[in-house]
Structures are given as C-alpha cells and as structure tokens.
Amino acid sequence: MLNSPSTAGTDDAIALTDRTDDRPVYVIGGGPGGLAAAAALRARGVRVVVLEKSDRVGASWRRHYDRLRLHTTRRWSALPGLKMPRRFGRWVKRDDVVRYLEKYTEHHELEVVTGVRVTRIDRAPDGSGDWQLTATGGRVMRGRAIVVATGYNHTPRIPEWPGRDTFTGTLVHAAEYRDPAPYAGRDVLVVGIGNTGAEIAADLAEGGASRVRIAVRTAPHIVRRSTAGWPAQATAILVRRLPAWLVDRAAAVLARIAVPDLSAQGLPRPATGLYSRVRQGAIPVQDVGLIDAVRAGTVTPVAAVSSFDGDAVVLADGSRITPDAVIAATGYDRALEPLLGHLDVLDARGRPLTHAGRPPKHAPGLYFTGFTNPISGMLREMARDAEKIAKRVARSPR
C-alpha cells in the first residue's frame, strides 16, 4: 500500500494517482459495497484504491434519519472479513453501521482517497484494455479494472408535480429528514409508502406531529420484521429462487395470519402477489410501527398526490388537503449516465445491465455493486458480489 492510514485527503490524491505503475483496481464509492469489494480484492493480493467524493467513508449512511435501523439481521449484514459486534444488537442502528464501516476500513487497511469525484469512465486510449478515470481537479487515473459502487440511493428524486413550485408549505425530500422535532405540532403529508416513507410516517406520529397522512399510489405488501423470532430476511433468503406463484401463495397465507386487514383504514391488501411485485422492483414494507399507527389513526392513508395548488395538495381522488409540510419519500436516481452512459452498459432506466459480480460482455473489467435492492438484503448481496468480483479480477490477466 502507498499509505498506511486508511484515508488520505484530497491533496494526497495526486500523489497516489501519479504512482500507479502497478495499475490498481479503482473502486468508485466508499460505502458498504465499495469497501466490501476493496477488502475482498485486497485479500487476494490485488492492489485497490477506493475513491470517495466526500470527506469520510459511509457518507450516505451518515445522512440517514436518526430512527433508522437495518431491516436485515446483524449476522447477514456483515461485510467480508469482519463480523458486526454482538453489542450492536440484532437490528443495527444507523450510527453503529457508520462505526462498523469506519472500523472495517481500518481493519482491512484499505487505501481510501477522499474528496475525489470521478466524473467519467473511459477505455484507455492505447487499446491495452485498461480503464481510464477522469476526476475533479483534472486528474486522470488508469486502472486494470473498475468497480462502480456509487450507491442505489444516489440522487434524491421528487416528481415534477404540476404546481409544485407554487406550494406555500414546506416541501422536502425524505433524504433531508432527520427526526420529528421540526414537525412537532404540524400537519404533515408523507408521499410514498415504501420502507422509508412508512418509517418516517410512524416516526412523525410518535414524535408529536399534530396530524400525519401518507399518500399511497399502490397498496404495499407489509411484512413483520420478525415473527416468533424468525426474521423476514431468513424467509426471503430461502424462497428467493422459488417460482413466483408459489411464493405469492405462501406469502398471502402468512399475511392473513400475521398482518391485520387495514382496508377499513384506507390501506387494503394488495391485489398482486408479493414476489411478483418484488420482481418488478417493489420491496415489501417491513413493519416498524406503521401497522399500529394506522390502526390507531395516528397515520392516515390517503390517495396519491396529483398536483399542488398554492397551500393545497390535490390528491388523485379529487380531494384537497392543506398540510403544513410535505415529505417526499419518492426514491432516488442512480445518476450513472454522466459517468458511463456513453459505454452502453446501462438499460433504458439508467441501471447497470449486469450485476452479481459480472461485467458486461463488451466491457470486461468494469463491475457494478449495490445497484439492486434484493429481497434477501442489500448488504448481504453486496458482500456476496464483492467475493465474486474479487475472484474474477484476481484470475484475469494483468
């Protein structure tokens, strides 16, 4: 390694990139996926440099809301080569995830360069098969392989609702939400009933908001995080390769046993099967308070947002409400097009064409990790992808 400390500052980046005669593997992104890939590569004797645009590893995790805990178990959320401490508990807190990523970097002596934003990936112009990175400050780096790990939740997305700019209340993306204190005594509408929206709505209801509504476009599948001590993640791992119709039927039976019917409260059971929805990209909502809040009336489901009109939000059923604040839990864009859209490695929705540690056939040496949201747990799959990537890179010609 060039520097024994795990993290180098921006000023050190030039020195690092000027001394790449061994053509390292570059990992773009210092989150769980990037760090896992770097550790797995280093364990196989491959020099790897992690490029992180912020000043610390795990930047996206540091920005998550305070209430957040992993929906996957500690055991199945660890990255290669280092277990999560038992003191973290079964469902790991956000701050403990950050501590783990910092310790992981130190434990594996990873070579991390912070303050460097990669802006473009190209093939090296000499036809060698290497890759060339262009980064902030006019830096140009060359590596034998590239691992893109810039994150599933990269760029917050708020729909272009008609009249959005005229709304006189507060409108923020869920990425800006930290805790319920600023919303105490206020009427809040949460838009989107994925895991983030559901958890923020429950947090607001418990934290003193005067009224909490949640806008629902499509009724979600809701599952218990664990039932009689058995985690939902364990079931997901067991069934993920079974036929969708079979899992749909089994999930419907389990839901009727474990999850109350909330139709009277405005949240009916979904018409389509759980696993069929998963294959379309819709992950079930793990209950961490939403069910009780809806049953108690402290969170009220309403129709999807159609438009804004001054102080009012117009819903899809034609009704109008006037919340003080709107929190849009409406997802993120991967934002990969500026980086490598010219390489023909993305699908029509801007997602990598390949995953699970496989490079595109026409772009050997280019890998992606962390761009899927599998039912079995994102951290678990990133750990598995890291090992697959490392094996492929280690046996590829130098």
Q: Name the residue ranges covered by the structural domains of the chain.
A: 7-154+334-394, 156-328
The predicted model gives 68-86 an average pLDDT of 96
Average pLDDT over all residues of the chain? 92
- pLDDT at 137 (0 to 100): 87
Whether residue 127 has pLDDT greater than 70:
yes
Q: How far apart are the first and last CA of the chain?
A: 18
Position 373 confidence tier, pLDDT thresholds 50, 70, 90:
confident
Q: Number of C-alpha atoms within 13 angstroms, CB side, residue 299?
A: 28
Local confidence band at 374 (pLDDT 50, 70, 90 cut-offs)? confident
The strand pairing partners of 133, in sequence order, are 121, 141
Over the stretch 326-349, which tens digit does the pLDDT of each residue have?
999 999 998 999 999 999 999 998
pLDDT-derived band at 289, boundaries 50, 70, 90: very high
Are the C-beta atoms of residues 149 and 37 closer than 8 Å to each other? yes
DSSP 371: -
Adjacent-strand bridge partners of 301:
214
pLDDT for residue 12 = 43
Using a pLDDT cut of 90, give the percent of the chain over it. Answer: 85
Q: What is the phi/psi pair of residue 268, to 5°?
A: -70, 165
Q: What is the amino acid identity at position 52? A: E
**Residue 398 — pLDDT band, cuts 50, 70, 90?**
low
Q: Residue 4: pLDDT above 50?
A: no
Supply the CATH classification number for the domain 156-328. Answer: 3.50.50.60
Which ranges of 44-115 does DSSP label H, i.e. alpha helix? 59-62, 94-107
* Predicted local confidence at residue 20, as pLDDT: 39
**Does the fold of domain 156-328 match that of domain 7-154+334-394?**
yes
Q: Measuring CA to CA, which residue among 227, 276, 222 is closest to residue 249?
A: 276
Per-residue confidence band for 23, with pLDDT thresholds at 50, 70 and 90 = confident
Look at residue 7 and tell me whether its pLDDT is greater than 80.
Answer: no
% the chain with pLDDT above 70: 94
> Does 19 have pLDDT greater than 80?
no
Confidence of residue 375 (pLDDT cuts 50, 70, 90): confident
Alpha-carbon distance 308 to 300, whole Å?
Answer: 19
Instruction: Give the pLDDT mean for 75-95.
Output: 97
Greater model confidence, 304 or 349? 304
- Nearest CA to 356 out of 385, 330, 379 is that of 385
| 318 torsion bin: left (phi>0), alpha (psi -120 to 50), beta (else) | left
Task: Give CA–CA dist 331/2, Å, rounded.
Answer: 38
Residue 10 has pLDDT above 80, yes or no: no
Residues 110/42, Cβ–Cβ less than 8 Å: yes
Is 250's pLDDT higher than 60? yes
Question: pLDDT tens across 59-74, in order?
Answer: 999 999 999 999 999 9
Note the helical H segments in 259-340. 274-278, 290-296, 337-340
Worst-scoring range by mean pLDDT, 11-25, 35-49, 74-88? 11-25
Say yes or no to pLDDT of 109 above 50: yes
State the architecture of 7-154+334-394 in CATH terms: 3-Layer(bba) Sandwich (3.50)
Instruction: Look at residue 89 and tell me whether its pLDDT is greater than 70.
Output: yes
**Average pLDDT for residues 162-175, to the nearest whole number?**
97
Higher local confidence (pLDDT), 17 or 176: 176
Q: What are residue 362's phi and psi, to 5 degrees?
A: -90, 5
State residue 157 phi and psi, 5-degree precision. Answer: -120, 125
* Tokens, residue 153: 């939740």
Is a pLDDT exceeding 80 seen at residue 323?
yes
